[in-house]
Structure 1
Amino acid sequence: MNVPIKQSCHLMNFHYGDELIAFERVIRPQANSKVLIKVHPDCRVIVSAPIDADNDAVLNAVKKRGRWIYEQLRDFRKQLEYTSPRKYISGESHYYLGKQYLLKVIEAPNSIQGVKLLRGKLEVSVRRKSAEKVKELLNDWYKTRAKETFSKRLDDVLEHALWLAERPPLRIQTMQTQWGSCSPNGRITLNPYLVKAPRDCIDYVVLHELCHLAEFNHSERFYRLMGQVMPGWEKVKERLDGMANIILLN
């Protein structure tokens, strides 16, 4: 199983005035009859509802919050107007472990090309200024830091996974739709761009995969394990989901 960047879902929609608003219905794992509605910064509307809730009942609950959903979407759309693709030039803001760092590109023809985290800035030295080269060096740096960070986070949280007799193998691989996954033979794969997220978000993904080594499906046992090893994981997951569009912005 895996930790998707965007959850598998059932798509539904409703009209608010002249606007058709689409939302994703996902299963709410907790034994609670309430319908939870979340509007994410990337303008995804996620509705968590019990698996046995009727679609009409869910739709009615969403329509009652129609004005609030519309206003949230309007505000986030305004914010997205100011979000532009990365140009990989000095002054841009880039994330690492949940914090923002200013990018400083240094053209030094006789220096070694590379990336340094120095005095609150990500300094990239290149022989000749090129957005593609800066992007390549940054991506390589993120992958190196991801390998180090994820290995350490795995070691730190492994003590909570009492069902494992040994440390599972870890692989780093860029993925477009998943933060992490695990194979039937017990290998964990993590997305290097997850290293841009806060440590607790990284721990959530690692623990999610460790729980899948005990329970491959998203069953009651799986969610019970998640609650035991990381109380309050739902809020951490919500924060990671909300950062996805920023973390993956190129």
Structure 2
Amino acid sequence: MTATGRPPSIPFSALPDHLQLPDVLIPLEWRRSSRARRLSIRLSRSSDSVIITLPATTPAEAGLKLLRTHTGWVEKQLQRRPAPVRLVDGGYVPLDGQPHRIRHVPQSRGGAWLAGEELHVSGDATFLARRVGDFLHELGKERLRIRLMQQVTRTDLRPTHIAVRDTTSRWGSCSATGRIMLSWRLVMAPLAVQDYVILHELCHLRHHNHGTAFWKEVERVCPGYRTAEEWLSQHGSALMRAG
């Protein structure tokens, strides 16, 4: 006990790194944020870990209490989330929302390439997932840049720079200087969803926030954006966890 009669505070470093559920052990990620106004708990987009974020001055005990009171919620969310896209021989990977079967052709050369509705991959099976991932990354750079420029022409909203990267925390971003970044994983989503994310970021060139004026602009240039957001809510984690 401390001098006040209260138990000593738990050091942040002593918080548990796993949550034991009935059938599985779930990794935990504890974060402090000077910008967070309240405690929050969510599933990671890129893995099956749980992220608990605490404001800078919130004691670690509060985060632990939040986790304990939301264990049932965590379990339900994990059960509801879709299985990740598996980059394995015989598996299916979506491109523009359309499934393409991954076919290992070890006797061939050329890395990975599209053949109709199949994605062929040569070489040793050990490197299949990496080759598929590299191929999708490059395909995303090519297709998403073209898609973005089409929307730039249509809306006359012009970024200062375009980048397509391997990110798993967000689908896109727009900096204060007008630099737009997209995740290559977006190439797996349906075209309407790709367009929504692109237009969402382009609208930030006029409104660098998520206020009323911003969403009015989004609705003007992308009337079906709510349907696209719902698709990402239901299926996005499967693409973010592809591997």
Pairwise CA distance, 1:148: 1.4
> Which amino acid in the other structure matches residue 231 of structure 1?
P
Give the one of 125, 145, 150 matched to 1:156: 150
Higher relative contact order (CA 8 A, sep 6+): 1
Offset from partner CA, 1:161-188 (integer Å, 9 cap, x none): 34x3x45421011112100011111111
Give the one of 198, 203, 207 matched to 2:190: 198
Give the one of 76, 79, 99 matched to 1:77: 79
SS in structure 2 of the partner of residue 178 of structure 1:
coil
Give the one of 192, 204, 207 matched to 1:215: 207
- Contact preservation (8 Å) 1:115, 1:123: yes
TM-score (norm 1): 0.62
Instruction: Compute the RMSD of aligned alpha carbons.
Output: 3.0
Give the one of 123, 133, 145 matched to 1:139: 133
Give the one of 171, 178, 183 matched to 2:170: 178
Match runs of 1:101-120 below 5 Å: 101-108=100-107, 111-120=108-117
Report runs of 4+ in structure 1 exceeding 6 Å deviation.
8-12
- Contact preservation (8 Å) 2:164, 2:184: yes
Larger radius of gyration: 2
- Contact preservation (8 Å) 2:85, 2:239: no
**What residue is the counterpart of 1:52 in the other structure?**
none
TM-score (norm 2): 0.64
> Which amino acid in the other structure matches residue 215 of structure 1?
H
Give the one of 206, 219, 224 matched to 2:216: 224
In 1, the alpha carbon distance for the partners of 2:150 and 2:38 equals 36
In 1, the alpha carbon distance for the partners of 2:84 and 2:212 equals 41
SS in structure 1 of the partner of residue 122 of structure 2:
strand
Give the one of 224, 229, 236 matched to 1:237: 229
- Contact preservation (8 Å) 1:114, 1:125: yes
SS in structure 2 of the partner of residue 95 of structure 1:
strand
Indicate yes or no: 2:99 matched with 1:100.
yes
Give the one of 177, 180, 189 matched to 2:181: 189
SS in structure 1 of the partner of residue 195 of structure 2:
helix
> Which amino acid in the other structure matches residue 89 of structure 1?
V
Offset from partner CA, 1:25-60 (integer Å, 9 cap, x none): xxxxxxxxxxxxxxxxx9xxxxxxxxxxxxxxxxxx
- Contact preservation (8 Å) 1:161, 1:211: no
Residue 244 to residue 220, structure 1, CA distance change in 2 (3 Å):
same
> Which amino acid in the other structure matches residue 149 of structure 2?
D
In 2, the alpha carbon distance for the partners of 1:107 and 1:178 equals 35
Give the one of 125, 129, 137 matched to 1:129: 125
Residue 152 to residue 119, structure 1, CA distance change in 2 (3 Å):
same
Pairwise CA distance, 1:79: 8.2
Residue 216 to residue 157, structure 1, CA distance change in 2 (3 Å):
same
Pairwise CA distance, 1:23: 8.7
Report sequence identity in percent: 27
